[in-house]
Structure 1
């Protein structure tokens, strides 16, 4: 894709705390990782096949956590008909940032009929942390993108929740070259994060995004039925973007509750859209 060539040309040689680039291709009915490059604090584990034809890759941070001024970049490209599941080895831990916020940029390039399922472990922001995250997706109309993101408050010396300074998370999805979905989540505890229309007393927030031509009205009707089985401990809602897909937002008091709801929705999509069973990604 033109977008990929121009962006990769600018990225290598820049000053990143961690840089990772990966390309997956379909070959004889099986997806393989054809090209991989990483440097700094980022590393890519050897792909494993939880599904016979689809690799699962684990993104690894070898430094133990993100600190003041860190900048990270990840780029993953799926060529035509390639399918891949991506997760992380552990949670993204954001520690105190005195001068500069931690910045994380992720880009995905999805060619025709490719499928990317991206479920990183939660972002945990500790006391006095500042974190900026930007995820950009360039996809063909026949591709499928599934992304689940969880943000949690980390430990603080006082024992209080929401001691981080702020978190800003942006998601941009370009569908056939046109920006079709833009999500901007901004959390700043000192401005009343627990109030109505914000966290409303909950402590964890999850966002699930699905863009796929396979998300039809029939799939959405089945989602309404299984929603009755969602845990009562969570507050959630969903909507549909301007392209075929689904956007879900969840508030809860435990990470596990959000993960359960993600799993139920993910399982429905795999069964209804791909006639495949669930994938279990928990590492513990």
Structure 2
């Protein structure tokens, strides 16, 4: 069990923590800056090392007006056997005017007999920028089988809060991976692939031309990729990329190539290198 609250604001050209609270099995390391853009990086740590049955982790993040936050994890999120109940993570995110969040966790690994649910709710302003990347991979199984976890549910909600009106739903991205019993390696279940990568981008600069460019960029990778656009709400649009592969490293490279393009084009930043070792 764990709870984490983090609030970031802009001060003197840099983003700094305005509020920070943690209890249980969640905390963050000391902040650092990867470049001179003013974007602050925090790394979430789970000292327990894994999620178990009936575990509940609550994360609340607020990025104030004009602030920029890169939120990463220290290592992969591991979900072990969850007899009797599932493990769950709920994240609530709020972005102010001109605020920016890059959410870059390490891969989610679901092991044998694991059941995991993750719900992320984001409320942002039309001028906000959001990038969320994630990889799901099956964990090691004693019998060498490709899939032995029970299910993984990932639900992302993105709401646009425009001045003078109630928040409107921009995107609902609901993913359920439930491996069938028996042979799960053929067509019809993840098209014979074992790993899944997802990228969600919301920004006023998202359009069909960007979706086409990112799709062309993914063609250089050993993965099956599709991209779709959301509707436009108050001048901002979302993009959802889904990619299938048999390699965590391949999916990480693919997602990194897409996010590095956005970092450079929109914010003048270099490629992301978290160097955790």
Checking the alignment, whether the CA contact within 8 Å between 2:211 and 2:229 is kept in structure 1 is no
Quote the offset at 1:223 in angstroms. 2.8
Q: Does 1:238 align with 2:227?
A: yes
SS at match of 2:83: coil
Q: Name which of 246, 249, 254 aligns with 1:253.
A: 246
Checking the alignment, whether the CA contact within 8 Å between 1:236 and 1:248 is kept in structure 2 is yes
Quote the offset at 1:82 in angstroms. 0.4
State TM-score, norm by structure 2.
Answer: 0.92
Distance 1:94 1:110 in 2: 29
Quote the offset at 1:198 in angstroms. 3.3
Quote the offset at 1:97 in angstroms. 0.7
For structure 1, the residue ranges without an aligned partner over 5 or more in a row are: 1-16
The residue number in structure 2 matching 1:61 is: 46
Quote the offset at 1:215 in angstroms. 2.1
For structure 2, the residue ranges without an aligned partner over 5 or more in a row are: 162-166
The residue number in structure 1 matching 2:32 is: 48
The 1:238–1:275 alpha-carbon spacing in structure 2 relative to 1, beyond 3 Å, is: same
SS at match of 1:266: helix
1:155-174 correspondence runs (5 A): 155-174=140-159
Q: Does 1:183 align with 2:173?
A: yes
SS at match of 1:272: helix
Q: Does 1:32 align with 2:11?
A: no
Distance 2:71 2:35 in 1: 13
Distance 2:143 2:275 in 1: 30
Checking the alignment, whether the CA contact within 8 Å between 1:215 and 1:273 is kept in structure 2 is no
The residue number in structure 1 matching 2:126 is: 141
Distance 2:260 2:239 in 1: 14
The residue number in structure 1 matching 2:274 is: 281
Distance 1:279 1:203 in 2: 26
The residue number in structure 2 matching 1:125 is: 110
Distance 1:218 1:154 in 2: 37
Q: Name which of 100, 114, 126 aligns with 2:85.
A: 100
1:211-263 CA-partner distances (Å, limit 9, x unpaired): 001224553454354344x21x2111111111323211010111011111111
Q: Name which of 192, 197, 217 aligns with 1:226.
A: 217
Checking the alignment, whether the CA contact within 8 Å between 1:219 and 1:272 is kept in structure 2 is no
Checking the alignment, whether the CA contact within 8 Å between 2:67 and 2:99 is kept in structure 1 is yes
The residue number in structure 2 matching 1:205 is: 196
Bigger drift between 194-203 and 158-167 goes to 194-203
SS at match of 1:242: strand
Distance 2:184 2:59 in 1: 30
- How many residue pairs align between the two structures? 266
**RMSD across aligned positions (CA):** 1.5
Quote the offset at 1:108 in angstroms. 0.7
Bigger drift between 217-226 and 35-44 goes to 217-226
Distance 1:133 1:182 in 2: 13
Checking the alignment, whether the CA contact within 8 Å between 1:166 and 1:187 is kept in structure 2 is yes
1:155-213 CA-partner distances (Å, limit 9, x unpaired): 11212121011111101001121111001111111267544343111110001000001
